[in-house]
Amino acid sequence: MKVTLLGAGSWGTAMAAQAARHLQEGDVCLWSRNSQQLEEIKNTGENSAYLPGVALPKSLKLEASFEHAIERLSPADLLVIATPMSGLSETIANVLRLAKHPLNIVWLCKGLEPVTTLLPHQVVEREHKLHSHGLFHSYGALSGPSFAQEVGNGMPCALTVASKSSALCDIVQNAFHHGNMRIYASDDLIGVELGGAIKNVLAIAAGIGDGLDLGLNARAAVLTRGLAEMMRLVKAAGGRPETCMGLTGVGDLILTATGDLSRNRRVGLALAAGKSLPDVLGGLGHVAEGVLCASAVSSLADRLKVEMPITAMMCDVLSGKLAPKEAVKKLMGRDPKVET
């Protein structure tokens, strides 16, 4: 089988390396719109801008032509969209305009579309209606607790592919379930995608708590009550709350809220240190999805009448309405209630 990955950031590069280690030479293609970046990867054998120190398989094919990256795929192959959430709509629209036959499509991004509060699969369905030319494409999300640097280095990792198509799940497992990576299958797209979005917001909250030296008790409280918020919203949105107890919920939450490689946690730490959000984001060099989707998660919760106090406070901190210490005081000052 052939695999094309669109987007040569850290996660796209890491997953391209994972597939290329086990498929035949030239079967895995990594596309980037930045031809200079591809030339550097070709010359040095690594993506120094996004995944420094990781030696990429020589069998990995590099492609600067978007058209060629899509046209190389047959109906039995796999297309992986590895752009941030902000690039999903444009990328999937361009793919569907070019597609001459049905494609198997999976995306790696986590978050909600800011203005519409749509989940990734809902964005894809919207673009599918506009640009698919009557073709039916199989699609799904690949998510779970994973740092690109560790995956790039071949360290153990477990992910979940979520799709209504069991055939697509099989294709994704064939592409990536090798070596130190395990791929589990699910049909709960809503639960998997919402878990991946909400955990990023909660990781910022956990980072703020750690940055303010509130202690391990406070971190445990944030993660536990944050998980309760996640489960409430998933249920109200039509997903299965029990999905939140798996890799894409509590698994990803623990990793992102406690791991030093987490960009969202680093945002929280920096905000607690008194840095402004623009300065924090400018120093990251990569996208922190929790910053981009916090307001959308809160808006979705309001629309579905779901109480999410930690998420709401994070929106106020990120918008500059509350300082981190004030947000903590407000959360701790809430009236007592029954645990649900």
Q: Which of 199, 235, 321, 330 is catalytic?
A: 199
Q: What is the pLDDT of residues 158-184, one digit of tens each?
A: 999 999 999 999 999 999 999 999 999
- May I ask the CATH architecture of the domain 3-187? 3-Layer(aba) Sandwich (3.40)
Q: What average pLDDT does the chain have? A: 96
Percentage helix, strand, coil, to 5, in the chain? 55, 10, 35
Domain(s) labelled CATH 3.40.50.720 in the chain stretch across: 3-187
CA distance 274 to 271: 5
The DSSP annotation for 86-98 comes to: GGHHHHHHHHHHH
pLDDT in tens, 17-73: 999 999 999 999 999 999 999 999 999 999 999 999 999 999 999 999 999 999 999
The per-residue pLDDT for range 246-272, each reduced to its tens digit, is 999 999 999 999 999 999 999 999 999
CATH class entry, domain 192-332: mainly alpha
Averaged pLDDT for residues 285-314: 92
Q: What percent of the chain has pLDDT over 90?
A: 93
pLDDT tens by residue, 103-138: 999 999 999 999 999 999 999 999 999 998 889 999
Q: How far apart are CA 254 and CA 239, in angstroms?
A: 21
For CATH 1.10.1040.10, the residue range(s) in the chain are 192-332
199 is catalytic: yes
Instruction: Give CA–CA dist 297/303, Å, rounded.
Output: 10
